[in-house]
Amino acid sequence: MLVGVVGKPNVGKSTFFAAATLKDVQIADYPFTTIKPNVGVAHLSVECVCKEMGVTDSPRNSACLDGKRLVPVKVVDVAGLVEGAASGKGLGNQFLDDLRQADALIHVVDASGSTDIEGRKVPPGSHDPAQDLDMVEREFDLWMYGILKRDWEKATRSLEQTRGKAVEHLAERLSGLSVTLPDVEEAMLRLHLRTEKPSAWTDAQILEFVRETRKLTKPSLLAANKADLPTSKANIESLRKTGREVVPCASEAELLLRRASERGLVAYSPGDPGFTVKEPGRLTPAQAGALAMVEEKVMKTYGGTGVQEAMNRAFFGLLKALVVFPVEDETKLTDREGRVLPDAFVMKGGSTTLDLARTVHTELAEGFLYAVDARTGKRLGADHPLKNRDIVKIVSSGKRG
C-alpha cells in the first residue's frame, strides 16, 4: 500500500515526508524544490500480538517496542501542483504520473496562509488555504479527465456500435491509476449515469465521473501544516468547516524531534503528545530555544505534531487498513527459521487470505490450498476476509507452501 503526499508548492510536503520517513530530502522556502518524486518508508504503530499470545517475538520486517509493532508502509512525496498543471503548466502532469499507484492521499496545505496559490512567499495570513485545496483537486480531476477525453468520441462510438460495456472501457482506461471495475460501477451508480450511451455524456458529466472516481480510489485527508505559526489557528477552524477531515500538522517540529531523538537528546516517539529533554546540559542555546518553541506552539496547543496521526488516519481511517501476522508454524507462531512472529504486513481493508498469500509470495498464492487461523486452529478458505491483528498460516502446494 502506498500513500501519496500532495499539495501546491512550498507547503511543506517534503518536510512532512522527511519527518515521516527520516529520509534526507531537499527542503527549501521556494516553489518547486522537489522535482523528482521521493519514495520512502514510514511506520505505523499498532499493538503487537506478542503479549496476548504470551511469546517473545523476533521481528524481521518491523521492530517491536514495548509491545508496539512499527509496521512499514510506503510514502511518496511529489512535486507541487499549480493551476494548469494538468495541461502542462509548472512541472506539467509528469508528476501526477508518480501518484498513479497511490491508494490514498495526504493533501498538505499551508494553514498559515503564508504562501500564495503558486507557493510564493506572502505575509502570513494573507492567503486563504481553502483556495489551494480546490485548485489541487481540480487539477487532479482535469488530469484524469484528459486521460479519458483523449479518444472519447472514437472510443464511445465504437463501444456503442459493438454493444461493448462502458464500465469495462472506463476501468481499462483508468487501470493505471489503480481504478478497478467495481470502482467505476460504483461511481456511475452514484451519479446515475447512463451506461448504454456514453457518447451522450456532457463534458461536465465526464468531469463529475472522474471526480467521483478519484474520491473513491484516492481518498484523502488534509494535513494543515505549519500549524506552529500564529495565523494557522483560524484557518484550521475554517478548513474544518468545509466538512473535510483535517489534521493540524507541524512537520518541521516533528522532524526536529525525531532527529533530536535519534541523537539521544530527547525522549520522543512519533505520535507522542509530548517529549522530555534527556540532558539539558548537552543542548546548545539554539537547540534549547527550538525545543521550547515546539513545546509551547505545538505540544501545548495541539497535543502533538500531527504527522504520525495523519499517517495513521490515512491507513487505518481512509483505507481501513489491517495488520496481519503471517506464520509458517501456527502453534509456535514461527517461520521456517524458527523466528517468532517475524513479519507484520499492512493490508487494505477487505483483504482476504489469498491477498495475504500474494503479499508474502506469488508462489504461495499460485498454489494456495487453505489457510489456518493460529488463534482458533480453524481452516480458512481463499476468500476469507482478514481481521486486524490476525495471525495466519498459509498452506500452499507452491514451493514456499
Return the C-alpha torsion angle 20, 33, 107, 246, nearest 10.
70
Mark the segment that binds Mg ion (CB under 5 A) among 31-39, 54-62, 302-310, 373-381.
Answer: 31-39
Mark the segment that binds Mg ion (CB under 5 A) among 10-18, 64-72, 330-338, 388-396.
Answer: 10-18
| Spatial distance between the Cα atoms of 91 and 69, rounded to a whole number of angstroms | 39
Q: How many CA atoms lie within 13 A of 208 on its CB side?
A: 11
- Select the binding partner of residue 250 from ligand GTP, Mg ion, none (C-beta < 5 to 8 A, by kind): ligand GTP
Check the CA dihedral 110-111-112-117 and report its sign. positive
Please report how close the Cβ of residue 311 comes to ligand GTP at its closest, in angstroms.
Answer: 15
**One-character DSSP codes across 40-86:** EEEEEEEE-SHHHHT-----SSSEEETTEEEEEEEEEE-----TTGG
Q: Is 252 in the site for ligand GTP (CB under 6 A)?
A: yes
Q: Is 14 in the site for Mg ion (CB under 5 A)?
A: yes
How many residues belong to the site for ligand GTP (CB under 6 A)?
24
- From candidates 3, 4, 6, 31, binder to ligand GTP by CB under 6 A: 31
Q: Is 80 in the site for ligand GTP (CB under 6 A)?
A: yes
Q: Is 107 in the site for ligand GTP (CB under 6 A)?
A: no
Closer residue to Mg ion in complex, CB, 86/108: 108
Return the C-alpha torsion angle 248, 251, 222, 299, nearest 10.
-10
Q: Measuring CA to CA, how many Å separate 11 from each of 4, 77, 393?
A: 15, 12, 44
- Select the binding partner of residue 196 from Mg ion, ligand GTP, none (C-beta < 5 to 8 A, by kind): none
Closer residue to Mg ion in complex, CB, 42/391: 42
Q: Is 93 in the site for ligand GTP (CB under 6 A)?
A: no
Closer residue to Mg ion in complex, CB, 33/94: 33
Q: Is 251 in the site for ligand GTP (CB under 6 A)?
A: yes
Check the CA dihedral 315-317-321-324 and report its sign. positive
Please report how close the Cβ of residue 81 comes to ligand GTP at its closest, in angstroms.
Answer: 8
| Spatial distance between the Cα atoms of 65 and 369, rounded to a whole number of angstroms | 34
330: cell is: 501456527
| Spatial distance between the Cα atoms of 347 and 359, rounded to a whole number of angstroms | 9
Mark the segment that binds Mg ion (CB under 5 A) among 29-37, 210-218, 306-314, 356-364.
Answer: 29-37
Q: Is 34 in the site for Mg ion (CB under 5 A)?
A: yes
Helix (H/G/I), strand (E/B), else coil: 107: strand
**Nearest residue to Mg ion, by Cβ distance, number only:** 34
Strand partners, 38: 77
262: cell is: 535519534
Closer residue to ligand GTP in complex, CB, 13/173: 13
Residues numbered 1-30 forming contacts with ligand GTP, rule: CB under 6 A: 7, 9-15, 27-29
| Spatial distance between the Cα atoms of 213 and 218, rounded to a whole number of angstroms | 8
Q: Is 101 in the site for ligand GTP (CB under 6 A)?
A: no
**DSSP-derived secondary structure letter, 232:** H
Closer residue to Mg ion in complex, CB, 14/396: 14
Give the x/- contact pattern for ligand GTP in 211-250, rule: CB under 6 A.
--------------xx-xx--------------------x
Q: Is 235 in the site for Mg ion (CB under 5 A)?
A: no
* 384 in Cβ contact with 352 (< 8 Å): yes
Binding positions for Mg ion, rule: CB under 5 A: 13-14, 33-34
Binding positions for ligand GTP, rule: CB under 6 A: 7, 9-15, 27-29, 31-34, 79-80, 225-226, 228-229, 250-252
